[in-house]
Amino acid sequence: MKPDFIPAYDPQEGALRARELFEETFAAKPEGVWRAPGRVNVIGEHTDYNGGKALPLALPHAIYVALRVREDDQLKIISEDFPQLSVHSLLELAKNYPASGPGAFVGGVILGLKQVLEDNGHPEKAQELAQKVPGLEVAIASSVPLSAGLSSSAALECAIAVGIDDLASLGLAGSFEGRKLLVEAGKVAENRYVGAPTGGLDQSASMLCEQDRVLELDCATWQTRSHPFDLPALGLSLLVIDTCTSHDLADGQYGARRAACEEAAQVLGVKELGELVPKGIAPSDNLTDLEAADYPPSWVQSQLDKLEDTEQVSRVRHVLTEIARCQRLCELLEAGADLDQWRELLDASHESLRRDYEVTCKELDVAVEAARGAGAYGARMTGGGFGGCAIALVRSDQLEATADAILDAFAKAGFNQPRFLSALPSAAAGRVE
């Protein structure tokens, strides 16, 4: 049995697939095609809604949307993955939410962007959007695996966002500040209209990442900084392992962890836990050996000592050390490749997510263990967890051998066959044609 690698559509292929699906479904030509990439986090998990830092990159795997404005409030949506035409009312969604189905994502972005523009002093643009995009016909083609923790939902939201930005002639996607408003629209769509309490990291990655670089994202200030991540020059590849295990962030597990962090922040007297992390992390601070007597650093332990709830202690320990690990890896990226330190940080991140945040699963743990056994330069789960994907930094000439080792481990454990992606940092959301 050979590993199943999921190919990414090149932009021309993705646009063609979306356009042909649109024409077949609606018997008309779309007004354009837009794309937005999925994402993986190199490190920095469950830090976004805690005002911390994360380090995502945009995948070459993307969602493509062909769009045409309607004259009524109807949303008509067709997808390669769900070939049954879905019909929704934008006005109905505005009154009754959260909702399910693709209409909640598509309509949520339209309604979310209108609200974001009004809240940020652009009522004229909000009115323009409402007038120019009362409804929408949508055809979706995607090479981003669904329910894998690779931000397929955020990619859809961002593709719709840059699309309606163009269709309404708002001009937001042409500037960094404008793109931040589009990010916020996607976040509102996910939180309010879909009902998933995500923190905005996924949308930021899809909308702000750059080719051949990773994005350092400060989720407290939403300031960004790009770092070089030229893996081919180092003879490395980033292997993404889709465990093919169910992954649903709209259920109670994700929300429960977010609530525990918010409650702990109140006890500790801060708005978000990220406020407790110093700007500079001392080299002596142990962030990698979770069994050592000096783990976690004293500045982390001093906060944990103020908490009485044992669950809060575990959750906060992960969040604070994960933010610090992200900061340290950003420093390493600027200083040059230190693969041993990269390995330690990535491995420690996974163990913290497994032990303290409790969001891994047997499949994720086996994937990570098998990748490490095959010689990976660090491996960890990525995304929200409870299933989904892991990543492994591997030598390019060992990419398939590592996948083979993971495939064998899954077979021995009686798990579903995993799928794989090879990821290079790619461009952000934008128009294709």
Q: At what angle do helices 201-208 and 152-167 cross, to 10 degrees?
A: 60
Asked whether 215 and 226 are in contact (CB, 8 A), the reply is yes
CA–CA gap between residue 26 and residue 42 (Å, rounded) = 40
**Residue 89 burial (CB count, 10 A):** 16
Question: Rounded to a whole number, what is the distance in angstroms from the first to the last CA of the chain?
Answer: 39
Catalytic residue among 48, 165, 202, 285: 202
Question: Following DSSP, what letter does each residue of 222-247 receive, concatenated?
Answer: TEEEEEE--TGGGTEEEEEEE-----
| Closest CA relative to residue 217, chosen from 206, 225, 207, 227 | 225
127: alpha, beta or left? (left if phi > 0; alpha if psi -120 to 50): alpha
Residue 202 annotated among the catalytic residues of the structure: yes
* Residues paired with residue 401 on neighbouring β-strands, in sequence order: none
For residue 431, CA distances in Å to 15, 64, 162 come to 10, 9, 7
Element (H, E) at 102: helix 102-119
**312-339: b (≥16 Cβ within 10 Å) or e:** bbbbbbbbbbbbbbbbbbbebbeeebee
CA–CA gap between residue 265 and residue 272 (Å, rounded): 6
- Report DSSP state, residue 50: G
Phi, psi for residue 231 in degrees, rounded to 5: -65, -45
Task: Find the helix or strand (DSSP H, E) in which 354 lies.
Answer: helix 339-355
Query: Closest Cα to residue 9, out of 140, 106, 105, 109?
Result: 140
Token readout for 215 is 């994005």
Give per-residue burial for 134-148: e unless 16+ CB within 10 Å, then b: bbbbbbbbbbbbebb
Short-list 433, 432, 430, CA closest to 182: 430
- The token duo for 332 is 């390493």
Q: Looking at this protein, which amino acid is placed at residue 7?
A: P
Quick one: tokens of 20? 């042909």
What is the residue type of 228?
Answer: P
Active site residues: 202
